Amino acid sequence: MAVRSLIVGTLFVAAFVALILSIAWIDKSQPIHQPAPLAPAPERPIPAPAE
């Protein structure tokens, strides 16, 4: 019957969408990669005030 094929098709599409969403889902609370640590600022002498 047409009803059976409609149900099977709907279940197939739902399973396909669930598969795509499970693959594409990424937990945003965890960083993908660790950021590079900040390099220390180079030491520079403080210039004397101009007179």
Model pLDDT for residues 15-29, shown as the tens digit of each residue: 999 988 887 776 666
Tens digits of residue pLDDT in 1-51: 689 999 999 999 999 999 888 877 766 666 666 666 676 666 777 777 776
The answer to whether position 50 is within a domain reads no
pLDDT of residue 9: 95
pLDDT of residue 37: 67
Q: How many domains are contained in the chain?
A: 1
CA distances from residue 40 to 37, 43, 44, 45 in whole angstroms, order as listed: 9, 9, 12, 15
pTM above 0.75, yes or no: no
Beta-carbon contacts of 37 under 8 Å, excluding residues fewer than 6 positions away, are none
The answer to whether position 38 is within a domain reads no
pLDDT of residue 24: 73
pLDDT of residue 17: 93
The answer to whether position 40 is within a domain reads no
Domain that residue 18 falls in: 1-28
The answer to whether position 14 is within a domain reads yes
